[in-house]
Chains A and B, each alone.
Chain A
Amino acid sequence: MAAISKSQSRRQFLLDMAKTACGVGMFGLGLGLYSKQARALPPAAIRPPGALPEPDFQGACIRCGMCVRDCPYDILNLAKPEDDLATGTPYFVARKIPCEMCEDIPCVKACPTGALDHKLTDINKAKMGLAALVDQETCLNFLGLRCDVCYRVCPVIDKAITLERVHNFRTDKHTMFLPTVHSEHCTGCGKCEHACVLEVAAIKIFPVQLAKGALGKHYQMGWEEKKKAGQSLVAPEIKHQYNLPEGFEYEQGRGLVPGGSSEAAPSPAAPGAQPGIPQALHGDKL
C-alpha cells in the first residue's frame, strides 16, 4: 500500500513539475518573442551619447535612469511600457529637445553598466544618430532662400553641415546654398532638427543604420586609389588625343588654345578671325 501511494505521489510530483515547466516555458517563449519585437528602435527615439548599438544596448542597460538624472538639460526620458521601445530604456526626441553635447558628458559618466560606453570621452565623436536633409521640396535653402538655420546651430558647423553652392537653375542667376550633412562629423545631437524653422523639420535625425547607405564591399573609389598609389591603377595614363586643327590644344575650362603638340609653332590664324579660335567656333560652317 505504502509503496503504491509513494509511487503515485511521485508520479503526481513529476506531473506537477512538468506542468509548471511547460507553463513557464510557454510564458518564456512569449516574452522572448515580445522582446524581439522591441529590439529595433523607432526612428524618432535617439539614444544618449555613447549608447552601444542595439540590441547590445538592451542587454547592457539595466534601466536605472542615472543618465536621465545627470543630464543637466533634462533631455532624456525612460521609455514607458506603451512607448515603442524597450521599457525603461533612455532616449530623447530631437525635435522636442536636442542633446547639448556637454563637454564632460555627464550622462555617460553616470551610467553604472557601460551601456553608455565610458570609452566615449570626446563628445564630438558621439554617434547618437545621423542627420539627413530628407525633404528637399520644403527646405528653404533648396527653394533658393538663405535660411541656413540648421547650419548655423550645428555645434560642429562647417564639418557636420556645410553649405554646398549650386547654381539655381530656376532663376538662372542665383546660387543655392544646400545644407549638406557629413556623416563623419555629425554626432546626431539633433540641434539641426530641433531648430529647423519649418512646421515639420526637413532635416531629421535617424538611427545611423537607418540613415546611412553602404557601398558594396568591392567598391573602390578610383580617385582615392589613384591618390594612394600615386598613379592610375587602371591603365597607364595617356594624354587624350583630340582631333583638333593643327597647332591647337584643348584645355579644360579654356577651350582651344594655340600651341603645344609636337608641331613647332602655331600656324598663323586665319585673317579676320580672333586669334587662337578656329573658324568653326566663330559660327561658320565647317
Chain B
Amino acid sequence: MSANNKIGADAVMEKGWLSAHKWLLLRRLSQLGILALFLLGPLAGIWVVKGNLAYSLTLDTLPLTDPYVLLQSLLAGHMAEKLGLIGVAIVIVFYAVVGGRAYCSWVCPVNMVADFAAWLRHRFGIKSGARFSRTSRYWILAMTLVLAVATGTVAWEMLNPVSMLHRGLIFGLGSAWAIVMAVFLFDLFVSPDGWCGHLCPVGAFYSLIGKTSVVRVNAAQRAACNDCMDCFVVCPEPQVIKPALKGAAKGIGPVITSANCTNCGRCIDVCSKEVFGFGLRFINKAENNAPQGEAAALGNRP
C-alpha cells in the first residue's frame, strides 16, 4: 500500500491531482458525453443521435449496431436489414482496434454504477466478498446465446441491466432502476467487481471482440515499479496486470494483452512512477537485457 493508505495519494502528490485523474476524467467525459448526445434529442429536440446502444443512427448517416444483441437476434432465427448489418461491421472493427472492453470503461452506463460501488467499498472498507470465478461471465454469455436459440426470442434483453439502463435513461426508466440497483448493491455488499468483473455477458462478449485489439495498456516503465500495489487495487480486472508488470524475469513483454483489460487507464492515473501508458499491442518486447540490479534499485527508491 502507498504510504498514506489512500489509493493514488502518491500519484496525486507527485503528478498533481489533474494528471493523476486524467484518464478517469476523460472516461467520465466520454460516458456522460455519449449519454448527453443520446438525450439531446428527447430532451432538447436536437437529433444528433437516434436510438440507443442496441442500434443508433448518428446524423442520419452513421449506423452503429450492438453486435451482441444482433447475434442473439440472428440465433433466434432472424436476419437484420442492411443498415443494421453495416452498423455491426463498423462497431466490430472499431472495438477490434481500440480494445473490446473499452466499451465497458468508455461507453457502458453501468460502468459508472459499478465504479461508484467499488469506490464506496474502498472508502468505507467494506471487505465482504463472495468470490466466484471470473469465467462465470463466459458461461452466462453462452447461456444467453443458447436461450436465444431455444426460445426464438432475444430473451436476455428482458433482464440485461446494460441495455435496460441505457434505454431507460433515454426512453423512460420505469422499474428498470430496480435492476440497476440490484447490480449496485451486489457490487457493494456481496462481491467486489461482482457484476462487471465476473458476471456481465456484455463485457464478456466485447472482450472476445477485443481479443487481438491494437490499442493496449502497457507497463513500459515496469522497472520503476515500487510495489505500492495501487494499480492492483484500483483495477477492476487486477489479474491482467501481473504478467505485464511482473513478467520481466520470465521474458513476458510489458503489454497487457489480456482481453479483459478494459483500457480504462486507471492504472496509468494511479501510478506515481508513471509505469503505465497506452500503446500498441505489437510493441511488446521484453527488455531481455534489462539489468536486474538497476530495476531493483529503481524499485527500492525511497
Binding site for B on A (CB under 8 A): 16-17, 20-21, 23-25, 27-28, 31-32, 34-36, 38-39, 55-56, 58-66, 68-70, 77-78, 80-83, 86-88, 110-115, 118
| Sample of 13 further A-B pairs with CB below 8 A, known A59-B78, A80-B174 | A24-B136, A24-B139, A31-B155, A59-B148, A62-B70, A62-B73, A78-B167, A80-B173, A80-B176, A112-B63, A112-B65, A114-B80, A115-B78
A78 to B47, CA, bound (A): 18
User: Do A87 and B158 form a contact, CB below 8 Å, given A64-B52, A78-B171?
Assistant: yes
Residue of A whose beta carbon sits closest to that of B148: A59
A-B contact pairs, 13 of them (CB 8 A): A20-B139, A35-B153, A56-B78, A58-B76, A62-B84, A66-B50, A66-B51, A69-B47, A86-B153, A88-B157, A112-B81, A113-B84, A114-B78
A111 to B57, CA, bound (A): 11
Residue of A whose beta carbon sits closest to that of B139: A24
Q: B147 contacts A31, CB within 8 Å?
A: yes
Q: A69 contacts B50, CB within 8 Å?
A: yes
The interface residues of chain B lying within 8 Å CB-to-CB of A66 are 50-51, 55, 57
Chain B window 18-37, contacts with chain A (Cβ cutoff 8 Å), 1 for yes, 0 for no? 00000000000000000000
A64 to B135, CA, bound (A): 29
Q: A63 contacts B87, CB within 8 Å?
A: no
Residue of A whose beta carbon sits closest to that of B140: A24
B133 proximal to A (CB < 8 A): yes
User: Do A81 and B151 form a contact, CB below 8 Å, given A24-B143, A65-B51, A87-B157?
Assistant: no
Return the contact of B56 from the options A56, A64, A82 (Cβ within 8 A).
A64
A9 to B147, CA, bound (A): 32
The interface residues of chain A lying within 8 Å CB-to-CB of B215 are none
Return the contact of A81 from the options B76, B146, B155, B176 (Cβ within 8 A).
B176
Binding site for A on B (CB under 8 A): 41, 47, 50-52, 54-57, 63, 65-66, 69-70, 73, 76-81, 83-84, 87, 132-133, 135-136, 139-140, 142-144, 146-148, 150-159, 163-164, 167-168, 170-176, 178-179
Q: B70 contacts A35, CB within 8 Å?
A: no
Residue of A whose beta carbon sits closest to that of B47: A69
Q: B76 contacts A59, CB within 8 Å?
A: yes
A251 to B279, CA, bound (A): 99
- Pick the most buried of B142, B153, B164, B168: most chain A CB atoms within 10 A of its CB: B153
* Chain B nearest CB, measured from A203 CB (Å): 29
* Chain B nearest CB, measured from A111 CB (Å): 7
* Chain A nearest CB, measured from B174 CB (Å): 3
A25 to B142, CA, bound (A): 10
Q: A88 contacts B167, CB within 8 Å?
A: yes
Q: A59 contacts B153, CB within 8 Å?
A: yes
User: Do A65 and B171 form a contact, CB below 8 Å, given A59-B153, A88-B157, A88-B163?
Assistant: yes
A-B interface, 8 closest residue pairs, ranked by CB to CB distance from nearest: A80-B174, A59-B76, A112-B84, A64-B55, A35-B155, A58-B153, A60-B78, A28-B143
The interface residues of chain A lying within 8 Å CB-to-CB of B175 are 80-82
Q: B51 contacts A39, CB within 8 Å?
A: no
Q: B143 contacts A68, CB within 8 Å?
A: no
